[in-house]
Amino acid sequence: MAELFAAGQQPEVLFWVGCAGSFDDRAKKITKAFIKILNNANVSFAVLGTEESCTGDPAKRAGNEFLFQMQAVTNIEVMNAYGIKKVVTACPHCFNTLKNEYPGLGGTYEVVHHTQFLKQLLEEGKISLEGGTYKGKRITYHDPCYLGRANNVYEAPRDLIRKLDAELVEMKNCKKKGLCCGAGGAQMFKEPEKGDKDVNIERTEQAMETQPDIIAAACPFCNTMMTDGVKNKEKEASVAVMDIAELIATAGDL
C-alpha cells in the first residue's frame, strides 16, 4: 500500500490479510489463493503489509476492550491516512470487526468478505468457473459464526460452491443453526474448559455424516479447527478441508 500511495495511486480495494492470513502456515495458502484470483481478475488491490496490525477481535472477545480499542484506533489511523474506501478480507472475524465495530471509532469503510467479493467477480464475468475440477464432488460447507449468524451471510459461499458444479450437501446444523467450530470468542488461543469432547470434534462428526469429499470453510480459524478434527478422525487422506478461495483458485482454468 505504501508504494502505491507514494506513486499517487489509489487501489480499488484494500485486501486485509489478517493475522492468520499473514502468519499461520495453513492460512497463508488461503491468502495466496485469493491473491491469485485477484491478479487473474485484474483487480487493483493493495495490502497494508507491515502496517497492518491485529484488528483486536480476539482481545475484545476475551474482554480486553482497552487493547481492542488501541488496536482499532491505530489501524483506523493508518487506513484513513491512505483514504481507504473499500476493504475485503478472508477472515470473518476481521470482517465483522472492521465492518461493525470500527465505524463507532472513526473508521467507516465498505467491508466485504472474500466470498461476497468472489461472488461479485463471478457475476461481473471477471472470473469464470468452467473448469470442472470439482464436478460431482460432495462438498459440505461449514458456516463461520462471524459470517453467518453474526452478519447474515449464508448464500454467497454456497452460490460459489454450486457454481463449481459440485454437489453441495448440508450438515444437520447449517446456516442459522450452524454449529461453531470452537475457535471463536478467543477460544482459539486457549485450552478448552473441561467437558466430554472438543467442539471441533463434534462439528467434524456432523460434517462426516454428510460423507463429503471436501469440507469447505470460509474462515482461517474454522479451517484449522476442522483440519484438526479430520486428523483426529484419521480421515485426512479422503476428506480435504479447503477454503472457498482455494476451491476457486484450483477450479481449473485460472
Considering only the stretches 5-13, 23-31, 36-44, 122-130, report the one whose residues sit in contact with another protein under the rule CB under 8 A.
Answer: 23-31
Give the whole-angstrom CA distance, residue 180 versus residue 100. Answer: 20
Considering only the stretches 36-44, 82-90, 162-170, 186-194, report the one whose residues sit in contact with another protein under the rule CB under 8 A.
Answer: 186-194
4, 70, 169, 208: residue in contact with another protein (rule CB under 8 A) = 70
Q: What is the DSSP string of 3-55?
A: HHHHTT---SEEEE-HHHHHH-HHHHHHHHHHHHHHHHTT--EE--GGG----
Shortest distance in whole angstroms from residue 130 CB to another protein:
27
Q: Under a CB-based contact definition with an 8 Å cutoff, are residues 90 and 31 in contact?
A: yes
182 binds another protein (CB under 8 A): yes
36 binds another protein (CB under 8 A): no
Identify which of 63, 58, 4, 21 has the alpha carbon closest to the alpha carbon of residue 218.
21
List Cα–Cα distances, 217 to 34, 40, 57, 224, in angstroms. 14, 22, 19, 10
The amino acid at 119: K
Sign of the Cα pseudo-torsion (183, 184, 190, 191, in order) = negative
Shortest distance in whole angstroms from residue 58 CB to another protein:
5
Q: Which residue has the cell 472474500?
A: 114
- Show the site string, 123-162: x = touches another protein by CB under 8 A, - = not: ----------------------xx--xxxx----------
Q: Which residue has the cell 489463493?
A: 33
170 binds another protein (CB under 8 A): no
Considering only the stretches 37-45, 116-124, 156-164, 178-186, report the one whose residues sit in contact with another protein under the rule CB under 8 A.
Answer: 178-186
Instruction: State which residue, 54 or 112, has the beta carbon closest to another protein.
Output: 54
40 binds another protein (CB under 8 A): no
- Site size toward another protein, by CB under 8 A: 70
β strands within 100-239, DSSP E: 110-113, 138-141, 167-169, 214-217
Residues near another protein (CB under 8 A) are 17, 19, 21-24, 28, 31-32, 47, 49-50, 52-54, 56, 58-67, 69-71, 73-74, 77, 96, 99-101, 104-105, 145-146, 149-152, 176-180, 182-199, 201-203
